[in-house]
Amino acid sequence: MSKYQSTLRYSSSQSLSKVLLIAMTLLVSSCSTEPTKPSGSSEGPLATEGGDVSELIGQPHSLPASDYAAVFERAEAALARFEWVAAEASLNTLSDALNSNDRVYRDYLRARIAYLRGQTAVATQLLQDLPKADTAPALSSKVLNFQRYMVRMAGDYLGSAELAQRLLDITPDPVTSTALKRSLWRDLEHLPAEALQSAGDTEDPIWRGWLELATISASTTDANSLHQAINQWRQDNAAHPAAKALPGGLEPFVDQALGVQRVALLLPLSGRLAPAAKAVRDGYLARFYADSEAILGQRQLLIFDTQSSEGGALAAYQEAVQRGANLVVGPLSKEAVSQLAAQPERPVPILALNRVDETLAPSSTALVQMALAPEDEAERLAELAYGAGARRALIVRPAGAWGDKMEAALRPYWQAMGGQINASAVYSKAESYSDSIKQSLNLAASEERARSIRSMLATNIESNARRRQDIDAIFLLSGSADEARSIKPLLVFHYAGNLPIYAPSSIYSGMPNERDRDLNGIHLVELPWLLGSNPALRVAITAGDTGSDSYPRLNALGADAYLVQSRFLQLQGGADALLRGDTGLLSMDPQLRIIREPQPATFDGGALKAL
């Protein structure tokens, strides 16, 4: 078996490998009975739009007494079922002579009805017009929660965090306050350091403290520097609510002692997957060596080619264990991960670079799974479209396993927020693109009506086909850039050019191309690596002249594998524990899957640009 070993030196009083092994072992037992959560943000959305958004943090106050309590309850129940017509009918039975709190409750519910209908501007105006004084605390909590939901869905994470701070000011319950703090921190972790610094000019010491701590988290990647910066922040902000219990998993990360770690990297460095494996390896090594500059002592890395023996990944894993590895990163292919996942005994924790569909065999140590699964992007696309006001969508996708999986990921999440899928266009080959789109937009029926009218009138009147009007967004779930470049102009040709289009990262090849002008205006989600993150690592990989920079997404996966390995203890901190990775914001769900949240982007002038 081909093996390569690289050694870095540093010293410590405690072995990180032991800490990591214990942590990952304990994590298995602690997560084994957790209920399954959907993939995506491990915290999940603030709340389902149709439901009571205040449920995110509980209801710390009782609603004021009202003669119309039953009416409000019926409207709330209807909204929970996404039945805005029934909710509106209930509110229409209210008297015009309402007291102040009843008027606030009525207009709050009207705002939710408007938002459910996609009338975001109307909902915003209704909330802005509500009186700010003399409102019952429970109603204020409802209003602030809903405002926060709206701005977060629109991508305004700073605004969402500010509203969370306002909620904290009126929330006496400690359990609710803790949940709010975690959610506030998660919002701040979405913001770049520059935005946090710009917002830091405030007289409020508590708000300023949050922003300063988030800036430290956003701008400090070296473990020792982060440790020092947080300790200094604690000294300067001893009275801050986050000082006693740091958010985002920072507490265990800061407290851990860095020590000797022997890691085995298992990749198919020969054979069909060799180019992909080398790209992952180069991304991993780029971050490995960048991290080593700030560490004193010794760290060992063993690299194994999983294709060099008939035993494949299992043989490589067993040899890595014999060589004293404390952690295994890899393998890369789904089949190889399944091979290791099926083993009843896994003496050393595994950070797999793909994800398996089957249930994992129980073991005493963890198998953590991270991947670039495109279906993970579906939920983010749904949130972007819904936050922009879309409610009735058309899905355009290829036939086969890819399209099935993408739609299966998107549809239930979209519907759970209150969205509808009113049509689907499924194509099997390039020749069927146009016919599939035409049929889904009901253009054939429109043309037939025009022919009938011409026949009845016995005259050759001119007419333009009209597409169906019950669609306000398109999910273009194409599996390749070539598909998307062909389909986007067809949507324009078939009278759907004015509809916003949302697409996964698969529509971009990863390399600039003049033909991407055909993708102009499409909203997509993409890896931060392809939007300019971590330029030093990208330069280092290009300078290595291995050719692996032709696989930028896999470079990013390798870099993030090292990031997760190094800061795994932080990820155990809970729903607010996020890592700013090169494949997206990273968190971990109860099934030990690394969930990535990619970054919104668009095409402008044929170039990919962050939003």
Model confidence pLDDT, tens digit, residues 355-411: 988 777 666 568 999 999 888 899 999 999 999 999 999 999 999 999 999 999 999
Is the pTM higher than 0.75? The answer reads yes
**459 or 577: which leads in pLDDT:** 577
Q: What is the pLDDT of residue 456?
A: 58
In a 3-state reduction of DSSP, which class is residue 242? coil
Q: Is 135 in contact with 127 (CB distance < 8 Å)?
A: no
Type of residue numbered 93: T
Q: What is the pLDDT of residue 440?
A: 86
**135 or 5: which leads in pLDDT:** 135
Whether 375-526 and 1-43+248-372+532-598 are alike in CATH topology: the answer is yes
Q: Is 571 in contact with 577 (CB distance < 8 Å)?
A: yes
Model confidence pLDDT, tens digit, residues 204-236: 999 999 999 999 999 887 777 888 899 999 999
Model confidence pLDDT, tens digit, residues 190-204: 999 999 999 988 889
Q: What is the pLDDT of residue 363?
A: 64
- From CA 495, how far away is CA 504, in angstroms rounded? 23
Kindly indicate the confidence band of residue 595, based on its pLDDT and cuts at 50, 70 and 90: very high
Read off the pLDDT of each residue in 180-192 and give the average, rounded to a whole number.
Answer: 95
Please tell me the CATH superfamily of domain 1-43+248-372+532-598, with its number: Response regulator (3.40.50.2300)
Q: Calculate the average pLDDT of the chain.
A: 84
Burial classification of residue 556, based on how many CB atoms lie within 10 Å of its CB (0-12 exposed, 13-18 middle, 19 or more buried): buried
- From CA 127, how far away is CA 366, in angstroms rounded? 47
Q: What percent of the chain has pLDDT over 70?
A: 83
- Residue 456's alpha-carbon distances to 294, 451, 460, 461, in angstroms, are 82, 9, 10, 11
Q: What is the pLDDT of residue 362?
A: 66
- Write down the H helix ranges in 99-192: 100-116, 120-128, 137-153, 157-169, 174-188
**267 or 568: which leads in pLDDT:** 267
Model confidence pLDDT, tens digit, residues 541-560: 988 777 777 899 999 999 99
**496 or 113: which leads in pLDDT:** 113
Q: Is 311 in contact with 317 (CB distance < 8 Å)?
A: no
In this structure, of 251-260, 268-277, 306-315, the range with the lowest mean pLDDT score is 251-260
Is pLDDT at 48 greater than 90 in this prediction? no
Q: What is the pLDDT of residue 162?
A: 96
In this structure, of 65-79, 270-284, 448-462, 464-478, the range with the lowest mean pLDDT score is 448-462
**53-210 placed in CATH 1.10.10:** no
- Write down the H helix ranges in 370-442: 377-387, 401-417, 433-440
Q: What is the pLDDT of residue 443?
A: 80
432 token code pair: 């069927």
Is pLDDT at 92 greater than 90 in this prediction? yes
Read off the pLDDT of each residue in 597-607 and give the average, rounded to a whole number.
Answer: 96
Kindly indicate the confidence band of residue 300, based on its pLDDT and cuts at 50, 70 and 90: confident
Q: Domain-by-domain residue ranges, the chain?
A: 1-43+248-372+532-598, 53-210, 375-526
Model confidence pLDDT, tens digit, residues 119-139: 999 999 999 999 888 899 999
The fold of the 375-526 domain, in CATH, is Rossmann fold (3.40.50)
Model confidence pLDDT, tens digit, residues 429-460: 888 889 898 888 888 665 555 455 455 555 65
Q: Residue 106: what are its φ and ψ, rounded to 5°?
A: -60, -50
- From CA 121, how far away is CA 10, in angstroms rounded? 57
Q: What is the pLDDT of residue 274?
A: 95
- What residues contact 285, with CB distance under 8 A and at least 6 apart? 6, 558
Q: Is 498 in contact with 473 (CB distance < 8 Å)?
A: no
513 token code pair: 């191309």
Q: What are the b/e assignments for 325-345, b being 16+ CB within 10 Å?
A: bbbbbbbbbbebbbbbbebee
Q: What is the DSSP string of 427-470?
A: ESSGGGHHHHHHHHTTHHHHHHHHHHHHHHHTS---------SS
- What residues contact 47, with CB distance under 8 A and at least 6 apart? 53, 54, 55, 56, 145, 149
Is pLDDT at 156 greater than 70 in this prediction? yes
Q: Is 360 in contact with 341 (CB distance < 8 Å)?
A: yes
- From CA 581, how far away is CA 591, in angstroms rounded? 20
**140 or 2: which leads in pLDDT:** 140
- From CA 372, how far away is CA 319, in angstroms rounded? 27
- From CA 81, how far away is CA 98, in angstroms rounded? 26
